[in-house]
Amino acid sequence: MNSKIVWTDITVPNAEGLKDFYKEVVGWESEPVGMGDYDDFNMKSNGNEDPDAGICHARGSNSDIPPVWLVYLAVDDLVESLAACEKLGGKILKPATKNGKFAIIEDPAGAVCALYQVS
């Protein structure tokens, strides 16, 4: 597989307010995504069916995600990629989720991204 960026989102204490900021600054429209007792948001460019990005609340399993625009890089095998990350001097900041689909890492330069197993 050729790895590529498959998603981008940001996790912050107040997703409601931040979605309004990006609506005014870049023109995104928001679409609520039910998370139980609150909504996160898919953000869409005017006229787009598919979302461009997500704005999420730092709650529950997302409470420890740093407030940065986080890119999700596609990988074929998350377990192998996480092992390679550590072997090459990176850190696992958030281990693989229960469904084993994504994890958050820090590379040796200190940059943070998510790895997402697409299959």
Per-residue pLDDT tens over the stretch 15-48: 999 999 999 999 999 999 999 999 999 999 988 8
The predicted structure's pLDDT at residue 119: 81
- Residues of the chain predicted below pLDDT 70: 1-2
Of the candidates 36, 35, 30, the residue with the CA atom closest to the CA atom of residue 17? 30
**Cα angle, residue 98 at apex, residues 15 and 89 outer, rounded to 5°:** 85
Instruction: Give the residue among 74, 25, 31, 28 at the shortest CA–CA distance from 56.
Output: 31
Total domains in the fold of the chain: 1
The predicted model scores a pTM of 0.89
Domain encompassing residue 87: 5-117
CATH of the domain at 27: 3.10.180.10
Amino acid 43: pLDDT: 98
Q: N- to C-terminal Cα distance for the chain? A: 11
Amino acid 2: pLDDT: 66
